[in-house]
Structure 1
Amino acid sequence: MKIIFRTDASTEIGTGHVMRCIALAQTMKDAGDDVTFVSAGLEERLKKEEMEAMGIAAKPYDDEDARETARHAKQTGAEWVVVDGYDFGADYQAALKREGVKVLFLDDYGHAGSYCADIVLNQNVSAREEWYKKKGPETRLLLGPRYAMLRREFRAWKDRRKERTGPVQNILVTLGGTDPHHVTAQVIDAVGKTAFPGTVTVVIGSGNPHLRELRHQAAASKVSIGLVANASDMPVRMAESDFAIAAAGTTSWELLCMGVPFLTGAFAENQVAVAAALEKQGLAKNAGWYPDISEDDLVRLISQLIHDEHWRAEHSRKGIETIDGEGVVRVLQAMNATSAQTPTSELTPPLTVRDATIDDARLLHEWANDPVIRESSFSPDQISWETHKKWIEGKLADKNSKIFIGMDGDRPVGQIRFDIRNDGDAEIDIHLAPEARGKGYGTPLIEEGLKRFFKATTSGAVHAFAKTDNDASRKAFLKAGFKELGKETLRGNPVYHLVFHRP
């Protein structure tokens, strides 16, 4: 397969669009595909990656730009054009589609308004399906961090990641490739006033115009600060770090994957929702709008987090669980499926799981009392709110119970619960949201839930019991790898007994 990437980098735009396209391009090259960038900016980086780059003669981002890009695609035999940048909108997608090429459109906050691309990818934790109500009937959405695209050098660390425990000895500061608001200087001052006794590494990108000033500032600091320009070994630097200060851009997914707990914030409008969602989902602490935060507040935040060992350990664990490093592979699989004209109905829905919290109590109560759920349960009676509230509080506090929420982007689609028995094995309970039934979520929810459960416990096996008149549940368990042991009677109901052993 041959692919054209249309994206740009500059001091104003930043480098994130090109860098995440490089992540996808690396994976494509590794799979034997040919890639070409039609872009401005980061030419040296593309040359280092041995990726062909060409400029564009047309006025950027208008219909003629799209036609010229499509001509490049046709001349090189490229089937796909990957588009990444906030100046590319609905008209640009339509112009490419009129030229007969397939389009993968990278998005962060629904900026285009309407979408006719073959695939729209939003890898952020803040991604919302409602942003894409105006999409074509054949447009497929890939939403959420399940599709976070990491470069090859980060994926190579997948099996060497570690959760952060113990005191902070090394802090990493990385605020993007350009830092137009000069936030790095602000952070260096704040870190200097924490009297941190360890080592601080400040990484700045090739597009940062303040290198000389930052060098003087770092040298004058009361703490040990090393300044690195245009680092080529970011996975190593992250692996050596116990805590980081970053912005809510592409670096977020890299830090989460590497298990580095971090303080995030925004200095671009597209980062605001991402920073808020990172904190809401327990993945980072949000400082807010960096240019407006006072120095005293920033010093207080940094000091608080580097001294909170429990917070860092918990956020490190959640980061590793959230970003598995395989997002870019899933994107390429979706492109291959679209090229093969696989019907949308046959594609597996995107799914992640997260820990349930008390904030989910009302939603779980609504699901539990749904008539279909009550009919398939062992007790058909409706559950009062008081009874449910007491039950959920007990389950969340019980170390032998694990409850996870299945998420499609930011939309909850079901719950899965594991209760550990006295013999060490566990029993599983699953149900889907009413609007999620019949859409293929059952098996992925079971698969993702099992991964989380086995990682968090030492249980050797999980047992499932499906009523004999609930064949859909039985099939979902079998498809997820459960083995059927036979029929039994449970609480007066005939059931299938199935089991899944720890891999």
Structure 2
Amino acid sequence: MKAVFRVDSSNFIGFGHLIRCLTLAKELRERGVECSFVCRDHPGNIAAKVIDSGFSVFLLERANEASALKGSDLEYDKWLGCSWQIDSDETNEILRVIQPDWLIVDHYSIDVKWEEALTKNYKKLMVIDDLANRDHSCDLVLDQNLFLDMKRRYDGRVNSQCLQLLGPKYALLQPEYRQLREKAKVRNSSIKNLIISFGGSDQSNLTELAFLAAHSFGREFSSINVVMPSASPFYNQVKKLIKPIKKATLYSDLPSLAPLMLEADIGIGAGGATNWERFCLGLPSLVITLAKNQKLVNNDLSKLRLIELIGDVETIKIEHVRAAIRAVLSRRDLAGWSKRCMRECSGDGAILVAGAILGITKK
């Protein structure tokens, strides 16, 4: 059995899409599926990480930005770096040779037009989506987010035969989260250890903002672990800031945040997939929304009392972060908060999704 993933990563797109596909690919490989990846050579991509994991990567040539779609209503349409027709043609050439049983797509620029242009060269299609803002012609759709209207989210977007895997139960977390979950403690009112992580390349330097806010509380925190990719344009600046502070440690390019999350009592970071990682390990978190697609889900998570939403990257100020930290330090309901998070995500998502793929294949 063969599966091909069409997914991209870059400084602008971030790395989360590729990382979750890589997690699923590893789980499928354990079950005997031969997986390969089709990625475009965008600036700052991490296709090398896929190769290091033992998978083949077909790297599409970096597109000329002048050929990208212009004047589109959705900025996501430009993430391909070219028109959908060019991308589908180039991907089709690869699929024609491989003839995969499954094509697995994780890309905000791809919709039913692209999918139907390739139908002759794959048997089944899985779409990993977070937006529910476009139509798909697929056999399986995965949306690992949590919304108040989750069950109706894809009404009219997919056909009635499509299997819908919805919610953090199916979140594609690295296996370390599932393995460490057994050691995760329910947090209490004793908040001493903090982790700060904004993933990707942190183009807005929220890492420094959050660190300065936390450090201003003096001895309230025994340790502050800061995670920032070395590729971030602000990495050296943050490194210089943190170096003389004994209780603070800067980490970069970690294979997983799971061990640091396990040690932490509270987290400060972005929304998106990191929410589910924190949930799995029962880590209460203060969240700043980084992208448009995170706004609705973060608002709903806040209403469900699963995160404390500080604000939006476009308007956030250090006093907002300080106020959120001050409020959480005085809370006495951390145990309940921690338990609510753990109920939403067990870390078994990759196992469940791989099982669903193989189940459909056998029908």
TM over 0.5: yes
**Percent of aligned pairs sharing the same letter:** 25
**Residue 48 (structure 2) aligns with:** 44
What is the correspondence of 1:423-442 to structure 2 with a 5 Å cutoff? none
Contact 2:95 2:122 in 1 (8 A): no
CA gap 1:297/1:29 in 2 versus in 1, 3 angstroms: same
Task: State the match for 1:123 in structure 2.
Answer: 144
| One-letter amino acid of the structure 2 residue matched with residue 181 of structure 1 | S
Structure 1 residue 96 corresponds to structure 2 residue 118: yes
TM-score, normalising length from structure 1?
Answer: 0.63
Q: Residue in 1 aligned with 2:162?
A: 139
**Paired residues of 1:185 and 1:214 also in contact (CA < 8 A):** yes
The aligned amino acid for 1:123 is: Q
Query: Where does residue 495 of structure 1 map in the other structure?
Result: none
- Counterpart of 1:122, as a letter, is D
Q: For 1:335 and 1:74, how far apart are their aligned partners in 2?
A: 21
Contact 2:287 2:309 in 1 (8 A): yes
Q: Residue 215 of structure 1 aligns with which residue?
A: 239
Name the Cα RMSD after superposition.
Answer: 2.1
- Select 1:265's aligned residue among 288, 291, 304: 288
> Which of these residues, 344, 350, 355, is aligned with residue 328 of structure 1?
350
Structure 2 Cα separation of the partners of residues 104 and 339 of structure 1: 12
Mark the CA change 1:294 to 1:57 in structure 2 (over 3 Å): closer, same or farther. Answer: closer
Please give the secondary structure, in 2, of the residue aligned with 1:117.
coil
2:242 equivalent to 1:238: no
Alpha-carbon distance in 2 for matches of 1:159, 1:335:
27
Q: Tell me which of 51, 54, 58 is aligned to 2:58.
A: 54
Asked if the contact 1:102/1:117 (under 8 Å) is kept, the reply is yes
Kept after mapping to 2: 8 A contact 1:283/1:315 = yes
1:128 is displaced (CA, Å) by: 5.4
* One-letter code aligned to 2:143: N
Distance in 2 (CA, whole Å) between partners of 1:30 and 1:150 is 16
**Distance between the aligned counterparts of 1:44 and 1:251, measured in 2?**
22
Q: Could you tell me how far apart the structure 2 residues matched to 1:142 and 1:170 are?
A: 35
Offset from partner CA, 1:288-337 (integer Å, 9 cap, x none): 21331232121010122133242x21121112111111122221222122
Counterpart amino acid of residue 28 in structure 1? L
For residues 239 and 102 of structure 1, what CA distance do their matches in structure 2 show?
38
How many residues are paired up?
Answer: 338
Q: Provide the rounded CA distance (Å) in 2 between the counterparts of 1:98 and 1:64.
A: 17
Kindly indicate whether residue 318 of structure 2 is the aligned counterpart of residue 290 of structure 1: no
| Aligned-partner Cα distance in 2 for 1:71–1:26 | 25
Give SS of 1:275's match. helix
1:181 and 1:291 in contact (8 A); partners too = no
Higher mean alpha-carbon deviation, 160-169 vs 81-90, is at: 160-169
Matches within 5 A, 1:10-409: 10-39=10-39, 40=41, 41-57=45-61, 60=80, 62-111=84-133, 113-126=134-147, 127=150, 129-195=152-218, 196-219=220-243, 224-310=247-333, 312-341=334-363
Indicate if the aligned counterparts of 1:73 and 1:79 stay in contact, CA closer than 8 A.
Answer: no
- Does the CA-based 8 Å contact 1:70-1:101 persist in structure 2? no
Task: Could you tell me which runs of 5 or more consecutive residues in structure 2 were left unpaired when the two chains were aligned.
Answer: 64-79
What residue ranges of structure 1 are gaps of 5+ in the alignment? 342-503
Structure having the higher Rg: 1
The change in CA–CA distance for 1:52 and 1:251 in structure 2 (over 3 A counts) is: same
SS of structure 2 residue aligned to 1:55:
strand
Deviations 1:99-145 (A, max 9, x none): 4432111111113x211111111110024524442322432222111
- Is the 1:106–1:120 Cα contact (8 Å) retained in structure 2? yes
Deviation at 1:176, TM superposition (A): 1.2
Q: State the secondary structure of the residue aligned to 1:21.
A: helix
Which digits, 9 at most, give the CA deviation of each residue in 1:141-167, with x for residues without a partner?
Answer: 221112111112222223222211251
For 2:32, the aligned partner's letter is: G
The structure with higher relative contact order (CA 8 Å, sep 6+) is 2
- Please give the alpha-carbon distance, in whole angstroms, between the structure 2 residues aligned to 1:53 and 1:86: 20
